[in-house]
Amino acid sequence: MNKRVGKLVLRRMPPNFAIPADFKPFDWRGDFWNYERNLPDWRQPGVTHFITFRLNDSLPRDVVEAAKLEKQSWNERLARQPQPDELLQEDYAAWQRRTWSKMESVMDQCHGSCLLRQPELRCIVSNALLYFEGERSAMHGFVIMPNHVHLAASTLGDWQIEDVLKSWKGFTSREINQALSQKGHLWQEDNWNRIIRDEAHWLKVMRYIANNPAKANLREDEFTTWFAEKCSNVERVFQPVLQEPPPPPLYPEDEPW
């Protein structure tokens, strides 16, 4: 393990998180763009992303098919917009949050093969997530669950989050398939990706990552967590990031989505 990025730790209770000094919240007054046409999947340089990706068999087929049909219906509605409709996009984002909250609850029931219960396979994933630390990405923290991964990270230089994520998933898929002498798609193609809006949202995300194993009633040998040293045990006085109030929040206070 590269000493510069810390060491892997197994934790059931969350550490005392502190906002890192280089954290950049989403600037709703600044420049940002949509990664996918007509969909509110925003990108902005320097921000931190909350990402979830999962094994291909982590959800029952009926749950996946129902979500696909609903997403297809939403895509058709969004494609019919002569111009981007802000209210419709907000409704779509709310549907995304409800859907992923439901899927997260189902994933925590440990459906499917749960290959990542095996420590040696989790090690492949954790090493990949940290391999280009400080070059392509800056990891704040992650948890590797039996059938999915949560992480908070920002990209560096010209790297885009979708390219870094593709690299993580591609490499780990090849390595894990080789270790198991199998072929085929390991990870589900879709990912959950949200820009972390502000300091309060960052704390909510990090606590969610830390608490997910306890929420799923996992034993300590069934998951792996890692948190950057800059994100814990650091004294920092909270300072408001914006000088004027942002738009009213649209998100439930008890969820990281």
Cα 91 to Cα 74: distance, rounded to the nearest angstrom: 10
3 has a pLDDT exceeding 70: no
205 has a pLDDT exceeding 80: yes
149 within a domain of the structure (yes/no)? yes
Average pLDDT value for residue range 182-206: 90
Burial class, 94, CB count within 10 angstroms (exposed 0-12 / middle 13-18 / buried 19+): middle
What share of the chain has pLDDT > 70, as a percent? 77
pLDDT, residue 238, reads 36
pLDDT, residue 6, reads 46
Average pLDDT value for residue range 84-103: 82
Q: Which of 236, 156, 159 is nearest to 202 (CA)?
A: 236
72 within a domain of the structure (yes/no)? no
Cα 116 to Cα 138: distance, rounded to the nearest angstrom: 23
pLDDT, residue 148, reads 97
240 has a pLDDT exceeding 80: no
163 within a domain of the structure (yes/no)? yes
Average pLDDT value for residue range 154-158: 91
Structure tokens at 117: 């219960």
Q: What is the DSSP letter of 248?
A: P
78 within a domain of the structure (yes/no)? no
83 has a pLDDT exceeding 60: yes
Range of the domain at 213: 3-36+43-58+112-231
pLDDT, residue 27, reads 60
106 within a domain of the structure (yes/no)? no
80 within a domain of the structure (yes/no)? no
28 has a pLDDT exceeding 70: no
| Single pTM value for the model | 0.77
87 has a pLDDT exceeding 70: yes
Cα angle 232-151-240, degrees, rounded to a multiple of 5: 55
- Residue 63's pLDDT band (cuts 50, 70, 90): confident
16-20, 246-250, 251-255: which has the highest mean pLDDT? 16-20
Average pLDDT value for residue range 42-51: 78
Average pLDDT value for residue range 15-32: 70
100 within a domain of the structure (yes/no)? no
Torsion of CA 172, 165, 188, 190, to 10 degrees: 180
Q: Where are the alpha helices (DSSP H) in the chain?
A: 61-79, 86-107, 119-131, 161-179, 199-215
Q: How many domains does the chain have?
A: 1
Cα 78 to Cα 75: distance, rounded to the nearest angstrom: 5
Cα 122 to Cα 224: distance, rounded to the nearest angstrom: 7
Average pLDDT value for residue range 160-172: 94
Neighbours of 191 (CB within 10 A): 17
* Average model confidence (pLDDT) across the chain: 80
Confirm if 178 and 117 have CB atoms less than 8 A apart. Answer: no
200 within a domain of the structure (yes/no)? yes
Average pLDDT value for residue range 20-41: 58
List the CATH number of the domain containing 12: 3.30.70.1290
- Residue 179's pLDDT band (cuts 50, 70, 90): very high
30 has a pLDDT exceeding 50: no
Q: Which residues, in sequence order, are CB contacts of 244 under 8 Å at separation 6+?
A: none
Average pLDDT value for residue range 23-46: 56
